[in-house]
Amino acid sequence: MPKEQELTEDEFKYYTQKAGDISRQLGFAGIAIIWLFHAAVTGDKTVTQLAIPLEFFEPLKWLIWALSIDAGQYLFGSLLWGIAFSKHPTVAAYSNHLSNQIAIAASVLFIAVKLIVIVIAYWYLYLAVTSRVIWQAAAG
């Protein structure tokens, strides 16, 4: 394989991995932000339940979708690469195989969808937080 192609593949792997890592971290950070607004609700004398304000349901739903897409990407990738390597056990035989292009396209698609879902989740999270927080200028 030519050096330029190796460099391109290494860069692609690096940036797709970083995009996946960042979207995953943003998903968990969003859930942590939502958790800051939870409250303990005592229904019975012995039972205490945790309640999340209703405004946070929509961003939570989108964050869970994003994390599910992230997990789905790994599942899909594992299946695709497992099937491909079972048919082409050597790297040389596999490097020219059509599944290689399919895997790259699927990876880009998963990352794009995941990042779009994260942006939507954070938009709803922004709306929820701004509806709950009272912003005041500091007395000076």
Domain coverage including residue 61: 3-132
Residue 103's closest CA among 80, 86, 78? 80
Give residue-wise pLDDT tens across range 27-41. 999 999 999 988 877
- Report yes or no on 138 lying in a domain: no
Average confidence (pLDDT) per 10 residues, the chain, 140 residues: 63 83 94 89 67 92 95 83 71 57 78 93 95 76
How many other CB atoms are there within 10 angstroms of residue 63's CB atom?
26
Please give the Cα distance from 114 to 70 (Å, whole number): 7
Residue 60's closest CA among 36, 94, 95, 86? 36
Phi/psi at 108 (5° precision) = -65, -40
CA distances from 86 to 31, 100, 124 (A): 39, 14, 43
Q: What Rg value do the Cα atoms of the chain yield, rounded?
A: 22
* pTM score: 0.76
- Report yes or no on 113 lying in a domain: yes
- Report yes or no on 137 lying in a domain: no
CB distance 41 to 48 below 8 Å: yes
- Report yes or no on 139 lying in a domain: no
Number of domains forming the structure of the chain? 1
The pLDDT assigned to 92 comes to 56
- Report yes or no on 9 lying in a domain: yes
- Report yes or no on 140 lying in a domain: no
- Report yes or no on 126 lying in a domain: yes
